[in-house]
Every structure is written in structure tokens, then in C-alpha cells.
Structure 1
């Protein structure tokens, strides 16, 4: 039991990184977006991996095209129009860029205008060519659809109209598939390894982008890290490894829905 406890402590330790422990053609690094410790760890792992490309959930393709290699945080933030993108402060993300200055940057974010089309035209139409290969033409199994809708309702503090839930699930599937698509593109163009920076929900092996990635590229090696918070908040789902950082004080997350 002592050996097991020691193993678990090391596995969930806040900052320890074993050399060569993050290996694969694709290394997916999950996060809670507002936890600075998660971004510090992502930067450390990125420096260890030395990727040829980094795929960001936080950037659209158009934003990624404005990347300026070697630029400082202020220049990159302005180039990406980060302040108006709705993500936490860019100073938390900049060390990831600095950790691999020669890596090619890919954006996998779904632009707002595309997101608005999901309800009217469906995820296959919005995704475009290749939707069938990624499984977007097929409905989810009923039990999984129900579970995902419940998760969306809980994540939005039980404040969503029930008729919105199927479209919220569809949008999540679209974002997962787009992350996988851009990762495949990055791997093809640069040879890898490719690091992916995304939220824990998109990183999880049981229903996130790895499902779509391995559907179209079953022979590649994929490693997935989930990140939680000490003593309170571990990410739901399946990961190859989970690590924790100090908890962030957030106040009442449901206040905005009241």
C-alpha cells in the first residue's frame, strides 16, 4: 500500500516532470484555461518535447497565420487580437510559444461565424470535406448523447434551455474533430512531434479529440495529459496521465447565470 501511495503522489505531483516521459507523434496537453500552473507545465513539457508544430484550440486558422516567430508577448497578443478572443490573459500562454520558438503554429479554433451555423446546417456541413471520415455524419449512441447533454447542462449551471443541449453537444463534437483535423495537418506538414494545447474536455481519450484523431490516423502514437487541481478538482474522463497544480480561486462560477 505504501508503494501504491508513493506512486500516486508522484503521478499527481504538481510540477515534477520525468525526462522523456512525454513521448509520441502527438502529445495532447489538457488544461483548465484559467489555471496558470497548467500553462507553466505545458511550457515545460513543450520545451522537453521540442515539437515541430503546436496546435492551439485558442487560435483560429486566420489568427495562427498572423504568428510572428520569436516575437515578444505584446507583439503576439496584438497580432492574434487575443484581448478580444475571450481567453485568459495571454501572459499565461506566451511561455508555451517561447518554449518552442521554431515550431510551426496551427489554429484549430472554430470561428464564431461557423459556430453559428451548427444549429441551422449541422456539424457535417460546417466541418466540410472529410466529415464522414471523422464520424460526424453519424449520431452518437443514445446513452452517450444523454450523458453529454447532462454534462453540458451541469457545466452551464443548469441554466440552458433543454432544446439547446443537442446543439451544444454537436458544437463540442465539431471542435474535437477540427482539433484532430488540424493536428493531422500539422503532422503531415512538419513530421512531428506535434503538441496540442487544449482544454481537458477536448483532450480526454474517451470522447474528446483523441477519438477523432485515432479514427483517421490509427497508427500514430498519441499521449494525453489531463490537468487538475490539488485536493479538489480532477478532470473527468480518461487520460494517459493526470497531474495537478494549486487551485485557482474563482468565486461563484454560476453567478453569471443568475
Structure 2
């Protein structure tokens, strides 16, 4: 079963990542461009020695190009999976995750941007390549959750998006969550436990993210979610949280000015 997040959970230390509770699937969240978050994920992966790594950042086609066994050198692997064309941050931050578990299978669960754009506004049961009902994609969200998620999307995009596009943005997030959950469960079946999922902290939420969808589809699977933040969150929607210093970056809202 899924381990319930506590509204009063205290932040953990980096050292505690070496002694996480037993689970079948671990969701290790991140702020994508924060190097410290990837260093922390590396610590956890080394300790867990997972059978497989599932990446939000890779499509299944990209992951299939990675040979089993010894990992290619950093620049070779970056070129092999055409990382530089994906829009994700510097590969140097991600490469240690691959080498932290050199024998683990690598699975891609990412939704390319062009596929996300093509799916915008379409019913999720039509764009999800699998059993949509298994992950609750065949039913609307509760009104309160829909409103909350639209508000989050608006804030994430600096309140610059037209209100009418927000429901479609929430649907795409649900689709990404379902892809991660589906890939994690398939990987667990194929490779065994434990499986580590590398994803954004938002997708690692236990209340409505990919861990919640695993709970819907396979309630007996043990899931543990670690969310990483740069500030203390208002509430805890992960089993554990880890807070780091903010990574210096330009104000993303400047692009909307």
C-alpha cells in the first residue's frame, strides 16, 4: 500500500536518504535545474541499488538506446540519447544518476513536448496508450482538486496563461502522472523491486501525482515519495521532504513581460 504523507512531516537530512524505509517504488522528486537535488538523488540511488531507473526526462525510445551493463561515458551517453535537443537542464547534473546504479535497467516515461501539444484538449482516454481507467483517467477530477490544480498551473506560468487553457494544462499533468505510474508498475513487474523514479517534485505528490495513481492501480505496491524543495512548503504532500538552498536563476516570469 502507499505510505501516507503527513501534514506535519519534518524535513529530512541528506544522510537519511541512505536509510529510506522499504518500498517497491521510490519516487525521488527534484527541482530540475538544482544541482543539489541531483546530488541527493545520487546518494539515495547508491543506497537503494535499484533494479531499474525510470526517468521522466527520457522517452521510451531514448531509453531503449542505452546499452545494458557498463554505462557509456558522459558525452557519449548524452549524444546517444540526443539529450541536448530535449530542453532538459545540463546533462552533467543527470549523468551521476545513471552511474549510481550502473547495472539498473533504464526506462523512459517521458511525454515529448510535441506529443503534449497534440494531446491538449483531447479526452485523456483517447490519448493515453493503455488502460486509462486503471489510473482514473476516465473520470473528472473532484471540483476542489480541479480548481486547486488550475491555480497551481497559473502560478507556475506566472499568471500569464489564458484561463481557458488551464483545464487542458491540468489534463496534460494527469497524463504525465499516469505515464510515470504505468511505467513504474510495468518496470516493477519486469525487473523486480526496488524501482526508482526520477521526476519533478510536483509529479511525486502522494495526493494526486504519480504515486497516487500507483495507489489507485495497485494498492498493494509499497510506494515512498521524497519531495525536494528550495523553501519550506505550505503543506506536505510527500512521504518525506528535503529542503535545499535555492539555486540561483533568472526570474522565469521575466519571459512573460
Given the superposition, is the C-alpha separation of residues 74 and 168 from structure 1 closer, same or farther in structure 2, using an over 3 Å criterion?
same
Aligned position for 1:50: 49
Contact 1:205-1:237 at 8 Å conserved across structures: no
Higher relative contact order (CA 8 A, sep 6+): 2
Aligned position for 1:3: none
Distance 1:94 1:105 in 2: 12
Q: 5+ residue gaps in structure 2?
A: 1-8
Q: Write out aligned runs for 1:1-258 (5 A).
A: 8=10, 11-13=11-13, 15-17=14-16, 19-68=18-67, 69-229=70-230, 232-234=231-233, 237-258=236-257
Distance 2:40 2:49 in 1: 14
Deviations 1:23-81 (A, max 9, x none): 21001100000110000010110010000000000001111111134111111111111
Offset at residue 128 of structure 1 (A):
2.6
Q: SS of the counterpart of 2:140?
A: coil
RMSD (CA atoms):
1.7
Offset at residue 234 of structure 1 (A):
3.6
Deviations 1:131-161 (A, max 9, x none): 1111101000111111111110111001001
Contact 1:118-1:170 at 8 Å conserved across structures: no
4+ residue runs over 4 A deviation: none
Q: 5+ residue gaps in structure 1?
A: 1-6
Offset at residue 120 of structure 1 (A):
4.8
Offset at residue 121 of structure 1 (A):
3.0
Distance 1:54 1:36 in 2: 19
Count of residue correspondences = 247
Given the superposition, is the C-alpha separation of residues 166 and 238 from structure 1 closer, same or farther in structure 2, using an over 3 Å criterion?
same
**108-117 or 80-89, larger mean C-alpha shift:** 108-117
Contact 2:227-2:241 at 8 Å conserved across structures: yes
